[in-house]
Amino acid sequence: MDNKRVVITGLGAVTPLGNNVEDTWNSIKKGESGIGPMTKMDPANYPVSVAAELKDFDVSPYVDKKEARRMDPFVQYAVAASHMAVKDANLEITEEIAPRTGVWIGSGIGGMGTYESEFEKFQKKGYRRVSPFFIPMMIPDMAAGQVSISLGAKGINSCTVTACASGANSIGDAFKVIQRGDADIMIAGGTEAPMIQMAFAGFSSAKALSLNEDPAKASRPFDRNRDGFVMGEGAGVVILETLESAKNRGAKIYGEITGYGSTGDAHHVTAPAPEGEGAARAMSQALGDAGISRETVDYINAHGTSTELNDKYETIATKTVFGDHAYKLAMSSTKSMTGHLLGAAGAIEAIFSLKAINESILPPTINHEEADPECDLDYVPNEARSKEIQTVMSNSLGFGGHNVALIFEKYAD
Q: What residues does each domain of the chain span?
A: 2-249, 259-409
Q: How far is CA 71 from the centre of its chain?
A: 20
Per-residue model confidence (pLDDT) at position 2: 45
HSE at residue 405, side-chain half, CA atoms within 13 A, is 30
Q: Give the Cα separation of 226 and 372 in Å (integer).
A: 10
Same fold, 2-249 and 259-409: yes
Looking at the annotation, which residues are catalytic? 164, 303, 340
Residue type for 126, please?
G
Whether the CB-CB separation of 51 and 35 falls below 8 Å is answered with: yes
Q: Give the Cα separation of 140 and 138 in Å (integer).
A: 6
Per-residue model confidence (pLDDT) at position 295: 98
- Model pTM score: 0.97
**What residues form DSSP beta bridges with 255?**
8
Nearest Cα to Cα of residue 4 among 289, 205, 287? 289
- Residue 258: enclosing H or E segment and its boundaries? strand 255-264
Whether the CB-CB separation of 54 and 233 falls below 8 Å is answered with: yes
Instruction: State whether residue 202 is helix, strand or coil.
Output: helix
Whether the CB-CB separation of 35 and 219 falls below 8 Å is answered with: yes
Residue type for 195, please?
M
Whether the CB-CB separation of 301 and 332 falls below 8 Å is answered with: yes
HSE at residue 99, side-chain half, CA atoms within 13 A, is 2
Instruction: State whether residue 203 is helix, strand or coil.
Output: helix
Cα-flanking dihedrals φ and ψ of residue 350, to 5°?
A: -65, -40
Q: Give the Cα separation of 107 and 176 in Å (integer).
A: 19
Cα-flanking dihedrals φ and ψ of residue 206, to 5°?
A: -80, -5
Whether the CB-CB separation of 261 and 269 falls below 8 Å is answered with: no
CATH class of 259-409: alpha beta
Q: Give the Cα separation of 32 and 290 in Å (integer).
A: 33
Per-residue model confidence (pLDDT) at position 1: 44
Q: Give the Cα separation of 322 and 309 in Å (integer).
A: 20
Q: Give the Cα separation of 138 and 305 in Å (integer).
A: 26
Q: Give the Cα separation of 163 and 344 in Å (integer).
A: 9
What does 274-303 look like in DSSP terms, one character per residue?
A: GGGHHHHHHHHHHHHHHT--GGG--EEE--
Q: Give the Cα separation of 290 and 277 in Å (integer).
A: 20
Cα-flanking dihedrals φ and ψ of residue 190, to 5°?
A: -150, 160
Instruction: State whether residue 349 is helix, strand or coil.
Output: helix
Find the radius of gyration of the CA atoms of the chain: 20
Per-residue model confidence (pLDDT) at position 4: 82
Query: Over its length of 413 residues, how does the chain's per-residue pLDDT go in tens digits?
Result: 445 899 999 999 999 999 999 999 999 999 999 999 999 999 999 999 999 999 999 999 999 999 999 999 999 999 999 999 999 999 999 999 999 999 999 999 999 999 999 999 999 999 999 999 999 999 999 999 999 999 999 999 999 999 999 999 999 999 999 999 999 999 999 999 999 999 999 999 999 999 999 999 999 999 999 999 999 999 999 999 999 999 999 999 999 999 999 999 999 998 889 999 999 999 999 999 999 999 999 999 999 999 999 999 999 999 999 999 999 999 999 999 999 999 999 999 999 999 999 999 999 999 999 999 999 999 999 999 999 999 999 999 999 999 999 999 999 98
Nearest Cα to Cα of residue 309 among 279, 353, 345? 279
Per-residue model confidence (pLDDT) at position 413: 86
CATH class of 2-249: alpha beta
44: buried, middle or exposed (CB in 10 Å: 19+, 13-18, 0-12)? exposed
Per-residue model confidence (pLDDT) at position 294: 97
